[in-house]
Amino acid sequence: MATKPELPVNDPMLDPKTGEYRVIAPGHTFTSVTDEISRIVLTSHTPLGWFFGFLLAGSICMMLLTAVTWLFLRGVGIWGLDIPVGWGFAIINFVWWIGIGHAGTLISAILLLFKQQWRNSINRFAEAMTIFAVVCAGMFPVIHVGRPWLGYWLLPYPNTMNVWPQFRSPLLWDVFAVSTYATISVVFWYIGMVPDLGTMRDRAQSKFAQFTFGLLSLGWRGSVKHWMRYETASLLLAGLATPLVLSVHSVISFDFAVAVLPGWHTTIFPPYFVAGAIYSGFAMVITLAIPIRKFYHLEDLITLRHIDNMGKVMLATGLIVAYGYSMEVFMAWYSASHWEFFMMWNRMFGPMGWSYWVLITCNIALPQSLWLRSVRSSPAIMFLLSLIVNTGMWFERFVIIVTSLYRDFLPSSWGTYKATRWDYATFVGTLGLFTALFFLFVRFLPMIPMSELRMMLPQAKIRPKAEPMEAGD
Protein backbone atom coordinates (compact mmCIF):
# COMPACT_ATOMS: atom_id res chain seq x y z
CA MET A 1 0.00 0.00 0.00
CA ALA A 2 1.44 3.37 -1.03
CA THR A 3 2.04 5.93 1.70
CA LYS A 4 2.38 9.68 1.49
CA PRO A 5 5.87 11.09 1.87
CA GLU A 6 6.71 12.53 5.26
CA LEU A 7 6.17 16.28 5.44
CA PRO A 8 7.17 18.88 8.03
CA VAL A 9 4.62 18.69 10.81
CA ASN A 10 4.68 22.36 11.82
CA ASP A 11 4.80 23.88 8.34
CA PRO A 12 2.00 26.52 8.22
CA MET A 13 1.85 26.22 4.42
CA LEU A 14 0.59 22.62 4.67
CA ASP A 15 -3.10 21.96 4.97
CA PRO A 16 -3.48 19.52 7.92
CA LYS A 17 -6.57 17.96 6.37
CA THR A 18 -5.25 17.16 2.90
CA GLY A 19 -1.48 17.23 3.47
CA GLU A 20 -1.15 19.45 0.39
CA TYR A 21 0.52 22.83 0.22
CA ARG A 22 -1.87 25.75 0.59
CA VAL A 23 -2.76 27.97 -2.36
CA ILE A 24 -2.36 31.07 -0.18
CA ALA A 25 -0.70 31.49 3.20
CA PRO A 26 -3.03 31.61 6.20
CA GLY A 27 -3.65 34.85 8.04
CA HIS A 28 -4.23 37.07 5.03
CA THR A 29 -7.06 39.61 4.93
CA PHE A 30 -8.57 41.68 2.13
CA THR A 31 -6.33 44.59 3.08
CA SER A 32 -3.12 42.57 3.41
CA VAL A 33 -3.56 40.98 -0.02
CA THR A 34 -4.24 44.37 -1.59
CA ASP A 35 -1.30 46.00 0.19
CA GLU A 36 1.18 43.29 -0.75
CA ILE A 37 0.37 43.40 -4.46
CA SER A 38 -0.31 47.11 -4.95
CA ARG A 39 2.88 48.20 -3.16
CA ILE A 40 4.95 46.77 -6.01
CA VAL A 41 3.33 49.16 -8.48
CA LEU A 42 2.54 52.18 -6.32
CA THR A 43 5.89 52.43 -4.56
CA SER A 44 7.87 55.59 -5.23
CA HIS A 45 11.20 53.76 -4.86
CA THR A 46 11.85 51.29 -7.65
CA PRO A 47 14.32 48.59 -6.51
CA LEU A 48 17.81 48.87 -7.94
CA GLY A 49 17.58 45.24 -8.98
CA TRP A 50 14.71 46.14 -11.31
CA PHE A 51 16.79 48.86 -12.97
CA PHE A 52 19.72 46.50 -13.40
CA GLY A 53 17.55 43.75 -14.88
CA PHE A 54 15.71 46.13 -17.21
CA LEU A 55 18.93 47.72 -18.47
CA LEU A 56 20.45 44.29 -19.08
CA ALA A 57 17.34 43.13 -20.97
CA GLY A 58 17.24 46.38 -22.92
CA SER A 59 20.89 45.99 -23.89
CA ILE A 60 20.20 42.50 -25.21
CA CYS A 61 17.15 43.86 -27.04
CA MET A 62 19.45 46.30 -28.85
CA MET A 63 21.12 43.24 -30.31
CA LEU A 64 17.79 42.40 -31.96
CA LEU A 65 17.45 45.94 -33.30
CA THR A 66 20.96 45.80 -34.77
CA ALA A 67 20.42 42.37 -36.34
CA VAL A 68 17.06 43.30 -37.88
CA THR A 69 18.42 46.61 -39.21
CA TRP A 70 21.29 44.80 -40.91
CA LEU A 71 18.81 42.22 -42.22
CA PHE A 72 16.71 44.95 -43.86
CA LEU A 73 19.81 46.46 -45.43
CA ARG A 74 21.42 43.28 -46.74
CA GLY A 75 18.58 40.73 -46.98
CA VAL A 76 18.10 37.20 -45.61
CA GLY A 77 21.44 36.18 -47.09
CA ILE A 78 23.05 37.22 -43.80
CA TRP A 79 21.36 34.17 -42.23
CA GLY A 80 22.54 30.61 -42.67
CA LEU A 81 19.76 29.72 -45.12
CA ASP A 82 20.81 27.69 -48.15
CA ILE A 83 19.60 24.93 -50.43
CA PRO A 84 18.00 22.63 -49.35
CA VAL A 85 17.55 24.23 -45.88
CA GLY A 86 15.36 27.18 -46.86
CA TRP A 87 13.89 27.37 -43.35
CA GLY A 88 16.18 27.99 -40.45
CA PHE A 89 16.30 29.85 -37.15
CA ALA A 90 13.44 32.19 -38.08
CA ILE A 91 10.82 29.44 -38.28
CA ILE A 92 12.37 27.51 -35.40
CA ASN A 93 12.11 30.58 -33.17
CA PHE A 94 8.60 31.37 -34.43
CA VAL A 95 7.26 27.95 -33.43
CA TRP A 96 9.19 28.03 -30.13
CA TRP A 97 7.81 31.43 -29.07
CA ILE A 98 4.24 30.54 -30.04
CA GLY A 99 4.54 27.39 -27.95
CA ILE A 100 5.69 29.37 -24.92
CA GLY A 101 2.55 31.50 -25.18
CA HIS A 102 0.25 28.50 -24.79
CA ALA A 103 0.45 28.16 -21.00
CA GLY A 104 -1.02 31.61 -20.41
CA THR A 105 -4.19 30.79 -22.31
CA LEU A 106 -4.50 27.38 -20.69
CA ILE A 107 -4.01 28.72 -17.15
CA SER A 108 -6.40 31.61 -17.73
CA ALA A 109 -9.15 30.00 -19.77
CA ILE A 110 -9.29 26.25 -19.22
CA LEU A 111 -8.46 26.31 -15.50
CA LEU A 112 -11.01 29.11 -15.04
CA LEU A 113 -13.72 26.98 -16.65
CA PHE A 114 -12.74 24.06 -14.41
CA LYS A 115 -12.75 26.37 -11.35
CA GLN A 116 -9.16 25.60 -10.33
CA GLN A 117 -8.28 28.13 -7.63
CA TRP A 118 -4.55 27.52 -7.82
CA ARG A 119 -4.48 29.45 -11.10
CA ASN A 120 -5.32 32.74 -9.39
CA SER A 121 -1.81 33.67 -8.27
CA ILE A 122 -0.13 33.02 -11.60
CA ASN A 123 -2.70 33.65 -14.34
CA ARG A 124 -2.04 37.40 -14.70
CA PHE A 125 1.66 37.22 -15.49
CA ALA A 126 1.10 34.00 -17.47
CA GLU A 127 -1.30 35.96 -19.70
CA ALA A 128 1.27 38.75 -20.02
CA MET A 129 3.87 36.14 -20.94
CA THR A 130 1.56 34.93 -23.71
CA ILE A 131 1.23 38.40 -25.23
CA PHE A 132 4.96 39.11 -25.10
CA ALA A 133 5.76 35.69 -26.58
CA VAL A 134 3.35 36.31 -29.46
CA VAL A 135 5.02 39.69 -30.06
CA CYS A 136 8.39 37.95 -30.33
CA ALA A 137 6.97 35.19 -32.53
CA GLY A 138 5.01 37.44 -34.86
CA MET A 139 8.07 39.28 -36.13
CA PHE A 140 9.81 36.19 -37.51
CA PRO A 141 7.46 35.36 -40.42
CA VAL A 142 7.48 39.04 -41.41
CA ILE A 143 11.26 39.42 -41.48
CA HIS A 144 11.69 35.95 -42.99
CA VAL A 145 9.82 36.73 -46.22
CA GLY A 146 12.62 39.03 -47.37
CA ARG A 147 10.35 42.02 -48.06
CA PRO A 148 8.88 42.91 -44.66
CA TRP A 149 7.39 46.14 -45.97
CA LEU A 150 5.03 43.97 -48.07
CA GLY A 151 3.86 41.93 -45.09
CA TYR A 152 0.35 43.32 -45.45
CA TRP A 153 -0.01 41.18 -48.60
CA LEU A 154 -0.74 38.29 -46.25
CA LEU A 155 -4.03 39.93 -45.26
CA PRO A 156 -7.13 39.79 -47.52
CA TYR A 157 -7.24 43.55 -47.95
CA PRO A 158 -9.37 45.14 -50.72
CA ASN A 159 -7.32 46.01 -53.79
CA THR A 160 -8.04 46.91 -57.40
CA MET A 161 -5.85 44.10 -58.75
CA ASN A 162 -8.06 41.44 -57.11
CA VAL A 163 -4.94 39.57 -56.05
CA TRP A 164 -5.82 37.49 -53.01
CA PRO A 165 -3.59 35.48 -50.67
CA GLN A 166 -3.28 31.76 -51.27
CA PHE A 167 -5.87 30.45 -48.81
CA ARG A 168 -4.70 26.86 -49.32
CA SER A 169 -1.30 27.72 -47.85
CA PRO A 170 -0.77 26.78 -44.19
CA LEU A 171 1.46 29.85 -43.86
CA LEU A 172 -1.62 31.97 -44.44
CA TRP A 173 -3.51 29.90 -41.90
CA ASP A 174 -0.83 30.95 -39.43
CA VAL A 175 -1.69 34.59 -40.01
CA PHE A 176 -5.33 34.09 -39.05
CA ALA A 177 -4.61 31.68 -36.19
CA VAL A 178 -1.90 33.79 -34.55
CA SER A 179 -3.72 37.11 -35.03
CA THR A 180 -6.90 35.64 -33.51
CA TYR A 181 -4.90 34.16 -30.66
CA ALA A 182 -3.17 37.47 -29.96
CA THR A 183 -6.45 39.42 -30.06
CA ILE A 184 -8.27 37.12 -27.64
CA SER A 185 -5.25 36.99 -25.32
CA VAL A 186 -4.95 40.78 -25.12
CA VAL A 187 -8.70 41.28 -24.51
CA PHE A 188 -8.82 38.51 -21.89
CA TRP A 189 -5.74 39.91 -20.14
CA TYR A 190 -7.10 43.45 -20.08
CA ILE A 191 -10.64 42.56 -18.98
CA GLY A 192 -9.21 40.51 -16.12
CA MET A 193 -7.28 43.54 -14.86
CA VAL A 194 -10.23 45.98 -14.76
CA PRO A 195 -11.20 45.35 -11.08
CA ASP A 196 -7.57 45.64 -10.00
CA LEU A 197 -7.10 48.81 -12.03
CA GLY A 198 -10.04 50.29 -10.10
CA THR A 199 -8.27 49.41 -6.84
CA MET A 200 -5.02 50.94 -8.07
CA ARG A 201 -6.90 54.10 -9.05
CA ASP A 202 -8.30 54.49 -5.54
CA ARG A 203 -4.96 53.82 -3.86
CA ALA A 204 -2.74 55.93 -6.12
CA GLN A 205 -1.31 59.11 -4.61
CA SER A 206 -0.07 60.98 -7.68
CA LYS A 207 -2.48 62.71 -10.05
CA PHE A 208 -0.90 61.07 -13.07
CA ALA A 209 -1.34 57.57 -11.63
CA GLN A 210 -4.94 58.35 -10.62
CA PHE A 211 -5.73 59.60 -14.11
CA THR A 212 -3.99 56.69 -15.87
CA PHE A 213 -5.52 53.94 -13.74
CA GLY A 214 -8.87 55.73 -13.79
CA LEU A 215 -8.81 55.80 -17.58
CA LEU A 216 -7.82 52.13 -17.83
CA SER A 217 -10.35 50.96 -15.22
CA LEU A 218 -13.27 52.01 -17.47
CA GLY A 219 -15.20 53.58 -14.61
CA TRP A 220 -15.11 50.47 -12.42
CA ARG A 221 -17.00 50.97 -9.15
CA GLY A 222 -17.30 47.40 -7.90
CA SER A 223 -21.09 47.40 -8.06
CA VAL A 224 -23.11 44.20 -8.43
CA LYS A 225 -23.90 45.07 -12.04
CA HIS A 226 -20.20 45.56 -12.79
CA TRP A 227 -19.28 42.24 -11.22
CA MET A 228 -22.02 40.41 -13.14
CA ARG A 229 -20.80 41.86 -16.45
CA TYR A 230 -17.20 41.19 -15.55
CA GLU A 231 -17.82 37.53 -14.73
CA THR A 232 -19.97 37.04 -17.83
CA ALA A 233 -17.29 38.57 -20.04
CA SER A 234 -14.61 36.44 -18.40
CA LEU A 235 -16.53 33.22 -19.03
CA LEU A 236 -17.32 34.17 -22.62
CA LEU A 237 -13.70 35.02 -23.35
CA ALA A 238 -12.55 31.83 -21.63
CA GLY A 239 -14.92 29.87 -23.85
CA LEU A 240 -13.49 31.59 -26.93
CA ALA A 241 -9.89 31.15 -25.82
CA THR A 242 -10.14 27.45 -24.92
CA PRO A 243 -10.37 26.15 -28.52
CA LEU A 244 -7.38 28.32 -29.39
CA VAL A 245 -5.15 26.22 -27.12
CA LEU A 246 -5.82 23.28 -29.45
CA SER A 247 -6.22 25.09 -32.75
CA VAL A 248 -3.31 27.57 -32.88
CA HIS A 249 -0.45 25.14 -32.56
CA SER A 250 -2.31 22.56 -34.60
CA VAL A 251 -2.47 25.07 -37.44
CA ILE A 252 1.22 25.84 -37.00
CA SER A 253 2.02 22.13 -37.19
CA PHE A 254 0.26 22.07 -40.59
CA ASP A 255 3.20 24.12 -41.91
CA PHE A 256 5.05 20.82 -41.80
CA ALA A 257 2.38 18.12 -41.79
CA VAL A 258 0.86 19.06 -45.18
CA ALA A 259 4.26 18.67 -46.89
CA VAL A 260 5.32 15.35 -48.41
CA LEU A 261 8.80 15.54 -46.90
CA PRO A 262 9.87 12.59 -44.70
CA GLY A 263 9.87 13.75 -41.10
CA TRP A 264 7.10 16.27 -41.73
CA HIS A 265 4.31 14.35 -43.43
CA THR A 266 2.72 12.81 -40.35
CA THR A 267 -0.70 13.02 -38.73
CA ILE A 268 0.63 13.00 -35.16
CA PHE A 269 2.01 16.52 -35.43
CA PRO A 270 -1.10 18.48 -34.32
CA PRO A 271 -1.65 16.74 -30.94
CA TYR A 272 2.00 16.47 -30.07
CA PHE A 273 2.72 20.04 -31.11
CA VAL A 274 -0.05 21.18 -28.76
CA ALA A 275 1.30 19.05 -25.92
CA GLY A 276 4.81 20.35 -26.57
CA ALA A 277 3.56 23.92 -26.57
CA ILE A 278 1.88 23.50 -23.19
CA TYR A 279 5.01 21.71 -21.95
CA SER A 280 7.32 24.59 -22.86
CA GLY A 281 4.73 27.18 -21.82
CA PHE A 282 4.47 25.90 -18.27
CA ALA A 283 8.25 25.64 -18.13
CA MET A 284 8.47 29.35 -18.97
CA VAL A 285 5.84 30.21 -16.33
CA ILE A 286 8.00 28.44 -13.75
CA THR A 287 11.08 30.26 -15.07
CA LEU A 288 9.30 33.57 -14.43
CA ALA A 289 7.38 32.68 -11.26
CA ILE A 290 10.31 31.51 -9.14
CA PRO A 291 12.45 34.68 -9.52
CA ILE A 292 9.33 36.85 -9.06
CA ARG A 293 8.32 35.21 -5.79
CA LYS A 294 11.90 35.45 -4.52
CA PHE A 295 12.66 39.03 -5.61
CA TYR A 296 9.34 40.51 -4.44
CA HIS A 297 8.94 38.21 -1.41
CA LEU A 298 5.67 36.71 -2.63
CA GLU A 299 6.21 33.21 -1.24
CA ASP A 300 2.90 33.48 0.64
CA LEU A 301 0.94 34.18 -2.57
CA ILE A 302 2.88 32.12 -5.12
CA THR A 303 3.30 29.04 -2.97
CA LEU A 304 4.87 25.64 -3.46
CA ARG A 305 1.38 24.42 -4.40
CA HIS A 306 1.58 26.36 -7.64
CA ILE A 307 5.05 25.09 -8.46
CA ASP A 308 4.03 21.54 -7.59
CA ASN A 309 0.91 21.66 -9.78
CA MET A 310 2.79 23.17 -12.70
CA GLY A 311 5.35 20.40 -12.31
CA LYS A 312 2.55 17.84 -12.61
CA VAL A 313 1.25 19.47 -15.78
CA MET A 314 4.77 19.47 -17.20
CA LEU A 315 5.13 15.80 -16.36
CA ALA A 316 1.83 14.89 -18.06
CA THR A 317 2.49 16.90 -21.22
CA GLY A 318 6.10 15.69 -21.29
CA LEU A 319 4.85 12.10 -21.40
CA ILE A 320 2.56 12.99 -24.32
CA VAL A 321 5.56 14.49 -26.11
CA ALA A 322 7.56 11.34 -25.39
CA TYR A 323 4.72 9.29 -26.88
CA GLY A 324 4.91 11.47 -30.00
CA TYR A 325 8.64 10.84 -30.31
CA SER A 326 8.15 7.09 -29.92
CA MET A 327 5.39 7.05 -32.55
CA GLU A 328 7.69 8.81 -35.00
CA VAL A 329 10.25 6.04 -34.54
CA PHE A 330 7.61 3.32 -34.71
CA MET A 331 5.96 4.64 -37.87
CA ALA A 332 9.34 5.05 -39.57
CA TRP A 333 9.76 1.29 -39.10
CA TYR A 334 6.14 0.20 -39.53
CA SER A 335 5.57 2.17 -42.74
CA ALA A 336 8.21 0.09 -44.55
CA SER A 337 9.23 3.29 -46.35
CA HIS A 338 12.98 3.46 -46.75
CA TRP A 339 12.66 7.27 -46.99
CA GLU A 340 11.08 7.45 -43.54
CA PHE A 341 13.50 4.88 -42.13
CA PHE A 342 16.52 6.78 -43.42
CA MET A 343 15.10 10.06 -42.11
CA MET A 344 14.86 8.65 -38.59
CA TRP A 345 18.27 6.93 -38.76
CA ASN A 346 19.85 10.15 -40.04
CA ARG A 347 18.06 12.16 -37.36
CA MET A 348 19.58 9.93 -34.68
CA PHE A 349 23.01 9.08 -36.06
CA GLY A 350 23.65 11.52 -38.91
CA PRO A 351 25.95 14.55 -38.85
CA MET A 352 23.43 16.44 -36.67
CA GLY A 353 22.43 13.47 -34.54
CA TRP A 354 23.80 15.23 -31.46
CA SER A 355 20.83 17.62 -31.56
CA TYR A 356 18.36 14.72 -31.40
CA TRP A 357 19.96 13.29 -28.28
CA VAL A 358 20.05 16.74 -26.67
CA LEU A 359 16.28 17.01 -27.08
CA ILE A 360 15.74 13.45 -25.78
CA THR A 361 17.85 14.22 -22.73
CA CYS A 362 16.21 17.59 -22.01
CA ASN A 363 12.60 16.70 -22.84
CA ILE A 364 12.28 13.09 -21.71
CA ALA A 365 15.15 11.81 -19.57
CA LEU A 366 15.77 14.61 -17.06
CA PRO A 367 12.09 15.65 -16.58
CA GLN A 368 11.30 12.14 -15.31
CA SER A 369 12.55 13.43 -11.97
CA LEU A 370 9.21 15.30 -11.77
CA TRP A 371 7.67 12.05 -10.52
CA LEU A 372 9.29 12.91 -7.16
CA ARG A 373 7.39 15.32 -4.96
CA SER A 374 10.64 16.46 -3.40
CA VAL A 375 11.74 17.69 -6.84
CA ARG A 376 8.43 19.43 -7.60
CA SER A 377 8.52 21.23 -4.24
CA SER A 378 12.07 22.52 -4.68
CA PRO A 379 12.07 25.97 -6.37
CA ALA A 380 15.75 25.75 -7.28
CA ILE A 381 15.44 22.37 -8.98
CA MET A 382 12.20 23.35 -10.74
CA PHE A 383 13.82 26.53 -12.04
CA LEU A 384 16.72 24.50 -13.44
CA LEU A 385 14.35 21.93 -14.96
CA SER A 386 12.28 24.67 -16.59
CA LEU A 387 15.40 26.02 -18.32
CA ILE A 388 16.33 22.50 -19.42
CA VAL A 389 12.86 21.83 -20.85
CA ASN A 390 12.74 25.09 -22.81
CA THR A 391 16.20 24.31 -24.20
CA GLY A 392 15.00 20.86 -25.21
CA MET A 393 11.85 22.23 -26.85
CA TRP A 394 13.93 24.63 -28.92
CA PHE A 395 16.06 21.71 -30.07
CA GLU A 396 12.89 19.78 -30.89
CA ARG A 397 11.94 22.44 -33.44
CA PHE A 398 15.53 22.51 -34.71
CA VAL A 399 15.51 18.74 -35.25
CA ILE A 400 12.11 18.73 -36.97
CA ILE A 401 12.99 21.53 -39.37
CA VAL A 402 16.71 21.21 -40.12
CA THR A 403 17.30 17.46 -39.99
CA SER A 404 14.27 16.86 -42.22
CA LEU A 405 15.46 19.36 -44.83
CA TYR A 406 19.21 18.97 -45.14
CA ARG A 407 18.96 15.36 -46.35
CA ASP A 408 15.81 14.72 -48.38
CA PHE A 409 14.94 12.36 -51.26
CA LEU A 410 17.91 12.91 -53.60
CA PRO A 411 21.48 12.53 -52.31
CA SER A 412 22.57 14.94 -55.04
CA SER A 413 20.59 17.71 -53.33
CA TRP A 414 21.90 17.06 -49.84
CA GLY A 415 23.48 19.94 -48.03
CA THR A 416 24.10 21.17 -44.53
CA TYR A 417 23.06 24.04 -42.30
CA LYS A 418 25.12 26.34 -40.16
CA ALA A 419 23.62 29.32 -38.37
CA THR A 420 25.46 32.63 -38.60
CA ARG A 421 26.09 35.18 -35.88
CA TRP A 422 23.09 37.13 -37.15
CA ASP A 423 20.84 34.12 -36.54
CA TYR A 424 22.04 33.91 -32.97
CA ALA A 425 21.84 37.69 -32.48
CA THR A 426 18.23 37.77 -33.66
CA PHE A 427 17.20 34.92 -31.37
CA VAL A 428 19.03 36.21 -28.30
CA GLY A 429 17.65 39.67 -29.02
CA THR A 430 14.08 38.38 -28.81
CA LEU A 431 14.89 36.98 -25.38
CA GLY A 432 15.94 40.50 -24.40
CA LEU A 433 12.76 41.99 -25.86
CA PHE A 434 10.59 39.47 -24.02
CA THR A 435 12.38 40.10 -20.72
CA ALA A 436 12.29 43.88 -21.09
CA LEU A 437 8.54 43.84 -21.74
CA PHE A 438 8.04 41.61 -18.73
CA PHE A 439 10.06 43.95 -16.50
CA LEU A 440 7.85 46.85 -17.57
CA PHE A 441 4.74 44.80 -16.86
CA VAL A 442 5.69 43.82 -13.30
CA ARG A 443 6.64 47.41 -12.48
CA PHE A 444 3.62 49.30 -13.81
CA LEU A 445 0.70 46.84 -13.63
CA PRO A 446 -0.52 44.47 -10.89
CA MET A 447 1.06 41.13 -11.83
CA ILE A 448 -1.17 39.10 -9.48
CA PRO A 449 -4.97 39.50 -9.56
CA MET A 450 -5.96 41.00 -6.22
CA SER A 451 -9.69 40.58 -6.78
CA GLU A 452 -9.43 36.85 -7.45
CA LEU A 453 -7.12 36.22 -4.50
CA ARG A 454 -9.49 38.06 -2.17
CA MET A 455 -12.30 35.75 -3.27
CA MET A 456 -10.29 32.78 -2.01
CA LEU A 457 -10.08 34.08 1.55
CA PRO A 458 -12.46 32.77 4.23
CA GLN A 459 -13.61 36.36 4.80
CA ALA A 460 -15.05 36.42 1.28
CA LYS A 461 -17.88 34.13 2.40
CA ILE A 462 -18.78 36.06 5.56
CA ARG A 463 -17.54 39.63 5.29
CA PRO A 464 -16.55 41.21 8.63
CA LYS A 465 -18.07 44.61 9.25
CA ALA A 466 -14.92 46.09 10.74
CA GLU A 467 -12.76 45.61 7.67
CA PRO A 468 -13.02 48.24 4.89
CA MET A 469 -13.44 47.17 1.32
CA GLU A 470 -11.62 48.38 -1.75
CA ALA A 471 -13.27 49.45 -4.99
CA GLY A 472 -12.24 46.17 -6.57
CA ASP A 473 -13.86 44.00 -3.86
Split at pLDDT 50, 70, 90, the class of 171 is confident
- Interval 385-412 mean pLDDT: 92
User: pLDDT value at position 225?
Assistant: 93
pLDDT per position as a tens digit, 250-289: 999 998 999 888 889 889 999 989 999 999 999 999 999 9
User: pLDDT value at position 209?
Assistant: 92
| pLDDT above 60 (res 463) | no
**Whole-number Å distance between alpha carbons of 201 and 214:** 5
Q: What is the average pLDDT score of the chain?
A: 88
pLDDT above 90 covers a percentage of the chain that reads 62
- Interval 444-466 mean pLDDT: 78
Run of H or E including 456: none
- Cα separations in angstroms, 247 against 2, 154, 244, 273: 39, 20, 5, 10
| pLDDT above 80 (res 1) | no
Q: What is the residue type of 172?
A: L
pLDDT per position as a tens digit, 19-44: 777 888 888 888 899 999 999 999 88
- Cα separations in angstroms, 378 against 90, 124, 287, 292, 307: 35, 23, 13, 15, 8
Identify whether 17 is part of a domain.
no
| pLDDT above 90 (res 400) | yes
Identify whether 403 is part of a domain.
yes
User: pLDDT value at position 4?
Assistant: 44
| pLDDT above 90 (res 401) | yes
Beta bridge partners of 14: 21
Is the CB of residue 391 less than 8 Å from the CB of residue 362?
A: yes
Is the CB of residue 290 less than 8 Å from the CB of residue 383?
A: yes
User: pLDDT value at position 471?
Assistant: 52
| pLDDT above 90 (res 367) | yes
Q: Which domain holds residue 58?
A: 30-460
Identify whether 23 is part of a domain.
no
pLDDT per position as a tens digit, 236-247: 999 988 888 888
- Interval 114-142 mean pLDDT: 91
Is the CB of residue 262 less than 8 Å from the CB of residue 339?
A: yes
Orientation of helix 421-444 relative to helix 48-74, angle to 10°:
140
Helix, strand or coil, per DSSP, at residue 21: strand
Backbone angles phi, psi at 294, to 5 degrees: -80, -45
- Contacting residues for 367 by C-beta, under 8 A, at least 6 apart: 314, 315, 318, 385, 388, 389
Q: Given phi > 0 = left and psi -120 to 50 = alpha, else beta, which region is 115? A: left
Split at pLDDT 50, 70, 90, the class of 473 is low
| pLDDT above 80 (res 61) | yes
| pLDDT above 60 (res 109) | yes
pLDDT per position as a tens digit, 179-228: 999 999 999 999 999 999 999 999 998 999 999 999 999 999 989 999 99
Identify whether 276 is part of a domain.
yes
pTM of the entire predicted model: 0.91
Residue 143: CATH number of its domain? 1.20.1630.10
Q: Given phi > 0 = left and psi -120 to 50 = alpha, else beta, which region is 297? A: left
- Interval 359-382 mean pLDDT: 95
Identify whether 10 is part of a domain.
no
Backbone angles phi, psi at 21, to 5 degrees: -70, 145
Residue 146 DSSP one-character state: S
pLDDT above 70 covers a percentage of the chain that reads 95
Q: Give the residue with greater pLDDT, 337 vs 9.
A: 337
User: pLDDT value at position 10?
Assistant: 63
Identify whether 468 is part of a domain.
no
Identify whether 121 is part of a domain.
yes
What DSSP assignment string belongs to 173-235? HHHHHHHHHHHHHHHHHHHHHHHHHHHHHHH--SHHHHHHHHHHTTT----HHHHHHHHHHHH
- Interval 296-302 mean pLDDT: 91
User: pLDDT value at position 5?
Assistant: 45
Number of structural domains (the chain) is 1
User: pLDDT value at position 7?
Assistant: 46
Identify whether 188 is part of a domain.
yes
CA pseudo-torsion sign 428, 433, 436, 442 = negative
Split at pLDDT 50, 70, 90, the class of 363 is very high
